[in-house]
Structure 1
Amino acid sequence: MHSYLARQPVLNRDKATVGYELLFRDGPNNCFPDVGDEHATNRLLADNFFTSGAIEATGGKKAFVNFPYNSLIQRTPLMFPKKSFIIEILETCDPSDELLEAVIELKEKGYTLALDDFIPSAAWNRFLPHIHIIKFDIRTVPIAKARFFMRHHKDKVNKILFLAEKVETHDEFTEAYDAGFDLFQGFFFSQPEMMQRKTLTPCALTTLRLYKEITLPDVDFNTVESIIATDVSLSYKLLRHVNNMRYSQAKPISSFKQALVYLGEERLKRFVTFVATAHATEKKPQSLYSLSLQRAHFCERLSNLAATEIIGNQAFLTGLFSLLDSLLDQPIEDVITLLPLSKEVQKALVHQTGPLGSILKLIMAYDKAQWEDVSELSKQLGLHESDIADLYMESLKWASYFEKTATD
């Protein structure tokens, strides 16, 4: 059995990730196993909360989990630790007396409750004193309408937090932020801020120079060392984390050349890539760094199984650099011309064409739980959906490890 699971980040007003909504298939029309809401929720809980899966899927942060009506009436959440997830009451639930009793009991026992895809209605008013989070889908309830509701309830009822979901652009984030939302869900953080064309910062320039050197077929490590030496913070990070990777009590590595001898060229190339990416995201949401790493690993692993022959290292770079426009706040087509990447990688990043482009589109569809697109792209690439599900979870675990290693 496989857990068909994607996740979507939830960020606070400082753009720090506070949790992830876990997205199972949510209805009988999706391409994955033809099951109803109740069974889907039960599968997600069993697969991810009876084991360590949820920790891997959320990096130890809170999981937002959808609960249909019957699961709540049957008190299914009581089977699981209250600190591990937030109960999302689906918008399809009937605001009945029976549901209210369940909500009150769950709250009294310390569970955190959220109303999902909330549409203001008098029928839900009696639930509000027992709710911790209200989620507005800004595609359904305009931000202006949500603002009106928040102004009338923000300080009256139980200090409710308000979450704007399906926030996909920085303009939408700014509007929702100004309206008073506390939390934000969506992939707005992965979009570049280019209202006005920005010049590259010294940090971004250092990152770009490093990327350029380590993507060359024959790397000149003297040049790489000279670039790293211009940035004290970057030098410290690299040496510290190379030392963290060593298990012996030998004398610590104190120079880049020593690190090269210890790691070897290929491992060091990749490690410099991780640290450079972490360096570029210092003033960006941490989710951006995590997503970059996850895509890199996911892309590489999928390329090994695809029917079309793809070079794994090119797939890795395609995934990693798929967010380069957001890392550097520059149009992707401009940034790519500054890097010695193959035409296949460039086409994938700029136009999402070719086999690498198809894998990238598949990954982006999986991120957003667009299951029908995932199914179609899987067929095109000759991939089994069960393998994709397994590799997605593997990539989350892998990215979480390197996120910790390179940003501590």
Structure 2
Amino acid sequence: MKYSYIARQPILDSDRKTFGYELLFRDGPKNTFPEIDPDKATSRLLSDHFLSTHYQTLGNHVGFVNFPYQSLVNLVPTLFPSDSLVVEVLEDCEPTSELLDAIKKMATQGYRIALDDFVPSKEWQPFLPYVSFIKFDIRIVPIAKAGIFISKLRGSKIKFLAEKVETYDEFEQAKKAGFDYFQGYFFSKPEIIQRKALQPTFLTIVQLCKEIAKEEIDYKELESLIARDLSLSYKLLTFVNASAIVSSKIQSFKQALVYLGEQRLRQFISLVAIASTDSSKPNYLYGLSIQRARFCQLAWCKSGQRSDADLAFLTGMFSLLDCLLDQPLESIVELIPIDEAVKLALTKGEGALGKILSLSKAYEHADWEQVSELGISLELSDEVLSQCYDEALQWSADLLQVDI
């Protein structure tokens, strides 16, 4: 038995800070969590994927995991630590007495239960005392209708989560309706897309991006750019000194250049520059930038295209600049004299770099059909893609050394 894909999607609180992740498993064509005997599940599932990689990248956050009916009644979730797991009851589960007994047992053992894609009905009423989360798919149950149900349970311990929140307006409406948590890609879309005057800090960031996009880095120019912005200089030195690869304190930017080397420097500057754009943005967005950049770089190399790996990294990194700067991506890339292939990948999704970027986005959204199609066209196997994603998650967590 093998698990081809595991992806994670962030769950944010009302302040847009990361509360947890939904971990999405694919096991064969049905894309479901495997219905397997607990004894057989233990060695493979826990050691190979769930504990070895994804619990590390969860950090202090919880993991929401879908379990089908048979896995629930077999108490498969009890194989996992209760403190970092939320057990999601799939929407197609029948509310039988057998299931209720299983939910009671798990709740008594300290497991938090979530009802996924919930549609209110009297059959689920007996389950509510044992439930910690109710998830509403706002495409199925409109926000206003969900709000009525939420108001009826206002005094309970249940927290409510809105799924498929795709716009900032929907996020605001869901907050007003009483939702506590939010899942969807509203956080990675610009709240306002408009042409506005470029601020000095933004211009410095653009120049930095221009320099690190060059085949050969001009260290003197980089030092000059950093020196112009006290805040950026401070953030860079603080970040470098906090990294695991620094054994003695770095006190000047020149030292950082020498110590880190070209490849690491390129990646560190990418992260620090992007993280300096807007402190009001969700922290997860910065982590996603780095994760996507690394995934693109790894997948690019694994597809046999060893050259231009830095371009793949920058394609992933720059793909979220519009969200971080609230500027149209087309306008941003015009200001940065980067390779034409990167521009076409970012603005039109064209070329090999465009395919790699689309593959990264599909994986993030757990669009497994798209992942398979792109993987085949790029000659990347399921195992290689899974490895690239796992490595990108771990690499970004290590690099950031903060909760993302």
TM-score (norm: length of structure 1): 0.90
Deviations 1:237-256 (A, max 9, x none): 22233334476865x33211
Q: For 1:24, what is the secondary structure of its paired residue?
A: strand
Matching residue of 2:143: 143
CA distance in 1: counterparts of 2:394 and 2:245, whole angstroms: 21
Q: For 1:136, what is the secondary structure of its paired residue?
A: strand
Contact 1:297 1:395 in 2 (8 A): yes
Contact 1:133 1:163 in 2 (8 A): yes
Worse-superposed segment, 11-20 or 254-263: 254-263
CA distance in 2: counterparts of 1:217 and 1:391, whole angstroms: 24
CA distance in 2: counterparts of 1:195 and 1:258, whole angstroms: 39
Deviations 1:313-337 (A, max 9, x none): 1111111111111011111111110
Matching residue of 1:70: 70
Aligned residue runs from structure 1 range 37-116, under 5 A: 37-39=34-36, 42=41, 44-45=45-46, 47-49=48-50, 51-116=51-116
Alpha carbons of structure 1 residues 26 and 48: separation in structure 2 relative to 1, 3 Å = closer
Alpha carbons of structure 1 residues 264 and 29: separation in structure 2 relative to 1, 3 Å = closer
Contact 2:33 2:68 in 1 (8 A): no
Contact 1:26 1:40 in 2 (8 A): no
Matched, 1:339 2:336: yes
Matched, 1:292 2:289: yes
Contact 1:294 1:398 in 2 (8 A): yes
Aligned amino acid, residue 399 of structure 1: S
CA distance in 1: counterparts of 2:3 and 2:194, whole angstroms: 45
Aligned amino acid, residue 205 of structure 2: T
Matching residue of 2:210: 212
CA distance in 1: counterparts of 2:37 and 2:163, whole angstroms: 21
Alpha carbons of structure 1 residues 310 and 390: separation in structure 2 relative to 1, 3 Å = same
CA distance in 1: counterparts of 2:13 and 2:197, whole angstroms: 27
Q: For 1:38, what is the secondary structure of its paired residue?
A: coil
Which of 392, 397, 404 matches 2:394?
397
Give the superposition deviation at 1:215. 1.9
Give the superposition deviation at 1:378. 1.0
Which of 357, 364, 369 matches 2:366?
369
CA distance in 2: counterparts of 1:202 and 1:248, whole angstroms: 30
Matching residue of 1:280: 277
Deviations 1:277-325 (A, max 9, x none): 2222522111111111111111011111225676211111111111111
Give the superposition deviation at 1:369. 1.0
CA distance in 1: counterparts of 2:183 and 2:122, whole angstroms: 26
CA distance in 2: counterparts of 1:65 and 1:331, whole angstroms: 35
Matched, 1:259 2:256: yes
Matching residue of 1:167: 165
Q: For 1:118, what is the secondary structure of its paired residue?
A: coil
State the aligned residue count. Answer: 399
Alpha carbons of structure 1 residues 103 and 346: separation in structure 2 relative to 1, 3 Å = same
CA distance in 1: counterparts of 2:197 and 2:181, whole angstroms: 30
Worse-superposed segment, 171-180 or 112-121: 171-180
Give the superposition deviation at 1:129. 1.5
Q: For 1:378, what is the secondary structure of its paired residue?
A: helix
Matching residue of 1:243: 241
Give the superposition deviation at 1:202. 4.9
CA distance in 2: counterparts of 1:88 and 1:108, whole angstroms: 16
Contact 2:194 2:326 in 1 (8 A): no
Q: For 1:271, what is the secondary structure of its paired residue?
A: helix
Unaligned runs of 5+ residues in structure 1 are none
CA distance in 1: counterparts of 2:144 and 2:242, whole angstroms: 49
CA distance in 2: counterparts of 1:47 and 1:137, whole angstroms: 31
Give the superposition deviation at 1:375. 0.9
Worse-superposed segment, 94-103 or 307-316: 307-316
Aligned residue runs from structure 1 range 313-328, under 5 A: 313-328=310-325
Deviations 1:363-386 (A, max 9, x none): 111111111111111111111121
CA distance in 1: counterparts of 2:133 and 2:291, whole angstroms: 28
Aligned amino acid, residue 25 of structure 1: R
CA distance in 2: counterparts of 1:373 and 1:171, whole angstroms: 28
CA distance in 2: counterparts of 1:72 and 1:46, whole angstroms: 20
Contact 2:5 2:27 in 1 (8 A): no
Contact 2:95 2:123 in 1 (8 A): yes
Alpha carbons of structure 1 residues 149 and 29: separation in structure 2 relative to 1, 3 Å = same
Aligned amino acid, residue 188 of structure 1: F
CA distance in 1: counterparts of 2:237 and 2:123, whole angstroms: 59
CA distance in 1: counterparts of 2:258 and 2:47, whole angstroms: 46
Alpha carbons of structure 1 residues 248 and 356: separation in structure 2 relative to 1, 3 Å = closer
Give the superposition deviation at 1:3. 4.6
Aligned amino acid, residue 162 of structure 1: F
Matching residue of 1:124: 124
Contact 1:65 1:86 in 2 (8 A): yes
Give the superposition deviation at 1:8. 0.5
Alpha carbons of structure 1 residues 382 and 39: separation in structure 2 relative to 1, 3 Å = same
Give the superposition deviation at 1:59. 3.5
Aligned amino acid, residue 320 of structure 1: M
